[in-house]
Amino acid sequence: MAKALPDILNTPLVIGDKTIQNRLTLAPMAQLGHIAFRELLAGFGGFGLMFSEMCSAKRIRHENRFVSPYFRWRDEELDGLVCQIFGNDPVVMAEAARRIEAEGFFGVDINFGCSASSICAQAGGAAILKDPPMAGRIVHAVRGAVGIPVMVKFRTGWRDDPRIAVEMAKRFEDAGADGLTFHPRVAPDRRAHRPKWEYIGLVKSAVDIPVFGNGNVFSPEACLEMISRTGCDGVAVGRMAVARPWAFAQWSGKFPSGTHPYLETALRLSKLLSTHFEAKDALRRFVRFALYFSANFLFGHTLFTKLSNARDLDTVEKILMDFFKTEPKVVSQPNMNFFR
């Protein structure tokens, strides 16, 4: 008999010399996977690891965790938090990893997946996939610098050829990576096409280390399908976790099915953002969250327009309270037009 999704997700998994108790992870997301959102998500549970926002390796050596917008955390989340870094210098990447280890993070994640022009222009992120030997040297340098788990997030490459991804996965494993998160899209594709999940299966078959699949997992059915079709060890979820922060807990069988605490969740995040960020930065981050949150509702465009024009978080809370005075129509799956 096939296992139910919660049974699969709640099966422990070894990464390097550490063990996680759940096979769902929060994928790293700029302006979304910040300290306030992670605290919100932690309140629901149902995940094995969370990944930080992408941090510049050059800056980490000198960053003040209480001031930095990205390199910051709560002490109580460190044992389940992986810090993601980007850069193109093996020495600098290794130095950043040493500080990450010294601060007590679960592990370090090397970003070879971001295809944003601002990152690729710095020869970082997915740009490094154009130079496989350099990508291998970076992983090797980070592995040699720390004892904590080293993970790599990467894409198919700059051409739609799964052989590239398979060879990169082998290279990363040989260089000492303890786990991989694979997003099966070519680097220039900013979600214009569906990810090719079959490539995840090819990567998984090529290595002996854990592989987390990533891309278009918007429901528990899709999560189970990805695992069943590809044999991946776990699933990294990004946008759906933002739209419905309780999704991990529901999929893992730790939260009542059919429970949707939309208003309470949005208000809670507003308060957390006020705690962790200055007013302007807090509002900017809430509006970024609001795009995905609004995708849950039939008239989500109206809600998002109002939230995006709010002058402060007090106004945000008033808009939310007004919107929920009459029970809004919730769509079965978030509107993909919002999921940019």
Residue 340 has pLDDT above 70, yes or no: no
Residue closest to 51 by CA, chosen among 86, 13, 69, 25: 25
Residues annotated as catalytic are 114
Cα separation values, 266 from 35, 44, 124, Å: 15, 13, 33
Average pLDDT over residues 132-154: 97
Residue 61's pLDDT band (boundaries 50, 70, 90)?
A: confident
Least confident of 58-72, 88-102, 179-193: 179-193
11's tokens: 């099966």
Reported CATH class of domain 5-251 = alpha beta
Average pLDDT over residues 107-130: 88
Average pLDDT over residues 40-69: 95
Task: Provide the b/e sequence for 218-240 (b: ≥16 CB within 10 Å).
Answer: bebebbbebbeebebbbbbbbbb
| pLDDT for 187 | 85
Residues forming a β-bridge with 110: 85, 152
* 239 within 8 A of 31, measured Cβ to Cβ: no
**Where is 82: in which H helix or E strand?**
strand 81-86
| pLDDT for 27 | 95
Residue 190's pLDDT band (boundaries 50, 70, 90)?
A: low
Q: Distance between CA atoms of 115 and 64, rounded to whole angstroms?
A: 27
Average pLDDT, the chain: 94
| pTM metric for this prediction | 0.95
Place of tokens 């592989």: 211
Q: Distance between CA atoms of 260 and 330, rounded to whole angstroms?
A: 9
Residue closest to 15 by CA, chosen among 47, 46, 48: 48
| Cβ-Cβ contacts under 8 Å for 201 (sequence gap 6 or more) | 229, 230, 231, 232
Q: Which amino acid is at 39?
A: E
| pLDDT for 139 | 98
| pLDDT for 191 | 66
Average pLDDT over residues 4-25: 98
pLDDT tens across 291-312, in order? 999 999 998 999 999 999 999 9
* Domain spans in the chain, listed from the N-terminal domain onward: 5-251, 262-338
Q: What angle is formed at CA 234 by the lines to CA 232 and CA 237, rounded to 5 degrees?
A: 120
Residue 194's pLDDT band (boundaries 50, 70, 90)?
A: confident
Place of tokens 């995905």: 292
Of residues 255 and 174, more confidence is placed in 174
Average pLDDT over residues 278-283: 96
Q: Which amino acid is at 232?
A: C
| pLDDT for 1 | 43
* 241 within 8 A of 248, measured Cβ to Cβ: yes
**DSSP secondary-structure letter at 128?**
G
| pLDDT for 30 | 87
